[in-house]
Chain A
């Protein structure tokens, strides 16, 4: 089963919820995927022992200038303007390339091969009984999605029918979020009871509904703001799975990189209860 944790708005507590859930489940094999590859933070809390670091590349074209007859077909087919024609040379802009393979496939002279260009790394290890995989985008790289795809592919290798896979997704509502949450059986949306929290929650709900992924909401810093998130959830028939109160002690634990469930054991029970609720909702 794959459960992703997303939010729309950043800083609402995705990582807190994902980490707490992972640490509360003991009956099943747990995989933890940090798919917020621009700013991966779950490792700060789970402190995994990393056993393997794998570079992740995307295929980009290399032109064999000997074979190339400068017909210009590659520059014509590239939808991303990653290739440009000079009178006697084809220029490649690897940062613009999406790795679709169109140019090498369609070059009439077979003058284009693909070579890997590293965009980040995948770090694989364990945190206690939890299998931990995170992506880390290289600074200056624009495209996180292929790295997220790589993390999820890697996870599939060791997944079996009883594994619980927890995906810590990036904030927002665009391509990296979609790559992270797609194939999820359920998505937990973490929000806070403020106008920002509500606005971005509503956007995230629209995305998940479009993708057809069942969802529920966790209200973090509950009691801090107003009731509008509650009303929104009620109106839209979205279950509120859990409330985490607005509590300075929790904020301080977070600041130190200590998972709540380690210091406040009663939360383990609450996260397990939440997981049961998710599983039951999927059986109906």
Chain B
């Protein structure tokens, strides 16, 4: 959610973010197919703590960058007098007491997973026994796929700051798109409505919300629609597995109509999706069937939206800057 690093405005590039609120509705499957259909887009995977797009697009990594973010505290046992001041002041329960076998206090130690790097212990330790260490929080990859350049990342195990890593992924992808004069930037988004999604939403032209006709899918879609509206991002909805429950599909259509959001795709449940997943191929490349036709029609609609409303979408982006 770190916004300060953005400066460039790229007017010609069109950024599409695929999100869902609820996980597992089909974001990555759809993103991979859009990547195929866009023919030469820049691709970004912003689901940095459970990234899957690489399993379908098979990127060849060209460049790896370490992602250093924030700090964590460490206690110098030589200096520490076990006064417990850090223990009482830490609000993240990150100071642990290690005991001797007889139950007496052996020493204090920082739990690096719980530590949020606030530095309160560092500033208040009476004997300066605490030092702050930079934190390697993940890695960023700049890669090539047969569909175009791809930027993706891996958040370190049990690390935080996924919002910042997402901002970095998007920034790199934008730089590449700008340098190579690409028209489309297609971004696979994270689930939920918190920090990672907020970071992913920054300055996109269109948020494509993939939902499914389940009560959970509807509930979660409404929250992510609210979120996108809160940040002034234009949204369109795609109903995946629309034939699982037609009543709920109808309910989604009505909700969207009331809110003035266009439903631009209805994708049937398809066993071909599972088979293409197992083989690691985007479904539009794998299938000749209805699912491929529907996704292709969806992509044509997106192109048309940018042709018709492109100016309006672009204007909106300018306003938000």
Contact = CB atoms under 8 A, between A and B. Distances in A.
B125 to A, nearest CB: 12
Given A77-B123, A195-B277, A10 B230 contact: no
A102 B160 contact: no
B274 A39 contact: no
A191 to B, nearest CB: 11
Interface string A166-191: 00001111111110001000000000
B22 A10 contact: yes
A11 B191 CA distance: 10
Contacts, number: 183
Interface in A1-51: 7-12, 15, 38-39, 41, 44
Contacts of A211: 113, 158
A74 B93 CA distance: 22
A139 B216 CA distance: 17
A173 B50 contact: yes
A133 to B, nearest CB: 18
A210 B198 contact: no
A63 to B, nearest CB: 18
B118 A102 contact: yes
Given A9-B50, A174-B49, A174-B162, A143 B113 contact: no
Contacts of A172: 49-50, 162, 190-192
Interface stretch (B23-31, B102-110, B258-266, B286-294): B23-31
B245 A100 contact: no
A173 B317 CA distance: 31
B321 interface: no
A177 B195 CA distance: 13
Interface stretch (A124-132, A155-163, A198-206, A263-271): A198-206
B120 A102 contact: yes
B194 interface: yes
Interface in A251-282: 251-252, 254-257
Contact of B191 (A10, A79, A80, A140): A10
Contact of A101 (B91, B245, B274): B91
Give the residue among B117, B158, B274 with the most A Cβ atoms within 10 A: B158
Nearest to B280: A195
Given A39-B193, A225-B278, A98 B118 contact: yes
A211 B112 CA distance: 11
Contacts of B230: 139-140
- Counting chain A residues whose Cβ lies within 8 A of the other chain, the interface size class is 35 or more
B257 interface: no
B49 A178 contact: no
A195 to B, nearest CB: 5
B194 A144 contact: yes
Contacts of B217: 255
A137 interface: yes
Contacts of B24: 9-12, 171
A105 interface: yes
B59 interface: no
Nearest to A99: B91
B277 A41 contact: no
Interface of B: 1, 21-25, 28, 49-50, 52, 55, 70-71, 89, 91-92, 113-114, 116-120, 123-124, 155, 157-160, 162-163, 190-198, 212-217, 219-220, 223, 226-227, 230-231, 244-245, 248, 274, 277-278, 280
19 contacts: A10-B50, A12-B23, A38-B191, A38-B193, A38-B223, A98-B118, A100-B91, A100-B116, A137-B193, A144-B192, A144-B194, A171-B23, A171-B191, A172-B49, A174-B49, A195-B52, A199-B50, A225-B274, A257-B214
